[in-house]
Amino acid sequence: MVVVCGSFQGKSPVKRHVPLALVFITGFLLVIQYFVPNDASDFLYSYSLDWVIVIGIFATALGLWSLVKVTTSKIKRRQRGWGYSVVTLVGLVVMLVAGPIWGIEDGTLFMNLFWYIYTPIQATMFSLLAFFIASAAYRAFRVRSLVAGVLLVSALVIMLRLIPLGPISQVNQVFASWILSVPNMAAKRAIAMGVGLGAIATALKVVTGIERSYMGRD
């Protein structure tokens, strides 16, 4: 639906009002659908999801086109890091060719590339998160104010609850549980409630046409 709206950018009244009408009707129908449990309502919902899938398939082709265009442009202009673009293009072509020709069952070229090249690289990237957490923690736990001090103490209590500390463990466990289930939970729920209200407000603004900046108008 948003894709349709985004594609009408003309100045004529039809092009201005048709997207808004589409957004309003679709949005209003789907709000009603949430409160109606019957078969017609189920059909409307699954039909809408099917549309999303169809749009997604067409958009994937556009996405691939965009990737090829941007990478070839970088290679042509010999932009900084253009070698990475070559690797991207080669990877894209090899996977696109290997799948249809040799299939995607275990033991085929496609799956071997996936299991023995892509998966280890992804695992390596994910493992780097440990180092990023360490550097972020160092920045967060610098005691520059009273609030930062409270944060540091709370973090220490939470981290130490997983380490055996003899007689202190039990006390620490109680304190850690209290931090997690009282102040931490209260803050999380407050944020969740705010997010809920914000989401409803955004949906209302989009459905009623108050928010149109995504269509290029204030």
* Residues in contact with other proteins by the rule CB under 8 A: 1-3, 6-7, 9, 31, 34-39, 41-42, 52, 55-56, 59-64, 66-67, 69-70, 73, 80-81, 84, 118, 121-122, 125-126, 128-129, 132-133, 135-137, 139-140, 188, 191-195, 197-206, 210-211, 213-218
Residue 66 CB, shortest distance to other proteins, in Å, is 4
- Cα–Cα distance measured from residue 30 to residue 52, given in angstroms and rounded to the nearest whole number: 14
Nearer to other proteins, 80 or 167 (CB): 80
**Closest separation in Å from C-beta 168 to other proteins:** 26
Distances (CA, A) of 41 to 25, 27, 32, 99, 210: 15, 14, 9, 39, 27
CB of 218 to other proteins, least distance (A): 5
> CB–CB of 53/59 below 8 Å?
no
Q: How far apart are CA 70 and CA 30, in angstroms?
A: 37
For other proteins, the closer of residues 64 and 101 by Cβ is: 64
Minimum distance, C-beta of residue 179 to other proteins, in the bound complex (Å): 14
Kindly state the smallest distance separating residue 112's Cβ from other proteins, in Å: 17
Distance between CA atoms of 174 and 91, rounded to whole angstroms? 52
Nearest distance, CB of residue 169 and other proteins, angstroms: 25
Q: Which is nearer to other proteins, 142 or 178 (CB)?
A: 142
Identity of the residue, 105 or 218, whose beta carbon is nearer to other proteins in the bound complex? 218
Looking at the Cβ atoms of 9 and 177, the one nearer to other proteins is 9
Give the sign of the dihedral formed by CA 75, CA 77, CA 78, CA 84: negative
On whether the CB atoms of residues 157 and 163 are closer than 8 A, the answer is no
Burial (CB count <10 Å: 0-12, 13-18, 19+), residue 109? middle
Give the span between the Cα atoms of 111 and 119, in whole angstroms.
Answer: 10
Cα–Cα distance measured from residue 64 to residue 62, given in angstroms and rounded to the nearest whole number = 5
Q: Which of 174, 188 has the CB closer to other proteins?
A: 188
